[in-house]
């Protein structure tokens, strides 16, 4: 019964995790803080100097997104370890969000001309989007870490061949197998006597 409930939650958890990770990555790649004035009020100041972003958050968000891909193709302890790394990366994005109000506004102000010390700096919508998506991503990854042992895995036919001894066949054996109507490349076909 526990395995059935774990499998039932597989699709929604993965979809929510991928959506939250993708949204976190997109939002982390945008400017989180900007000067509260228009370009006309700050002539000669390029757009890049009127905004600030958090590259560390983007890097961590991409780790989370890549982790979902690895989570889907792994199994067992490796899957659980990948989920744990994803939780840590998502928590890192949350830490970036928490620390940003103390660093990025001053970074924007330091790039503005000397006479614009009174210019306000505000958080953009991308900052709030990243904050919500990072928290959601962390929660979903914790849920994935808890449930992933019961999730389905890829078929074993995609695994590397086992340690079985290879069957050596001569050219004559291959031709005899063809004459008898067997596939000589099929490892289950016994060699001809």
pLDDT tens-digit map of 45-101: 555 566 788 999 999 999 999 999 988 888 888 889 999 999 999 999 999 999 999
pTM above 0.85, yes or no: no
The rounded percent of the chain whose pLDDT value lies above 90 is 36
d(CA 95, CA 125): 18
pLDDT (0 to 100) of residue 85: 95
Q: Where are the domains of the chain?
A: 2-154, 167-193
pLDDT bin (cut points 50, 70, 90) of residue 166 is: low
d(CA 170, CA 146): 52
Nearest 5°: the CA angle 170, 190, 160 is: 90
Q: Decide: 123 and 52 in contact? Cβ < 8 Å.
A: no
């Amino acid at each position: 019964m526990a395995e059935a409930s774990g499998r039932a939650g597989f699709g929604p958890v993965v979809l929510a995790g991928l959506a939250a990770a993708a949204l976190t990555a997109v939002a982390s790649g945008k400017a989180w803080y900007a000067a509260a004035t228009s370009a006309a009020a700050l002539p000669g100041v390029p757009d890049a100097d009127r905004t600030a972003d958090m590259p560390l958050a983007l890097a961590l968000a991409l780790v989370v997104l890549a982790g979902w891909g690895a989570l889907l193709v792994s199994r067992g302890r490796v899957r659980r370890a990948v989920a744990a790394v994803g939780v840590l990366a998502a928590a890192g994005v949350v830490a970036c969000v928490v620390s940003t109000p103390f660093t990025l506004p001053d970074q924007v102000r330091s790039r503005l001309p000397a006479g614009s010390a009174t210019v306000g700096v505000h958080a953009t919508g991308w900052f709030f989007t990243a904050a919500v998506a990072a928290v959601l991503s962390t929660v979903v990854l914790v849920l994935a870490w808890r449930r992933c042992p019961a999730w389905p895995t890829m078929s074993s036919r995609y695994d590397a061949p086992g340690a079985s001894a290879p069957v050596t066949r001569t050219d004559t054996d291959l031709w005899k197998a063809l004459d008898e109507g067997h596939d000589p490349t099929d490892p289950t076909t016994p060699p001809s006597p």
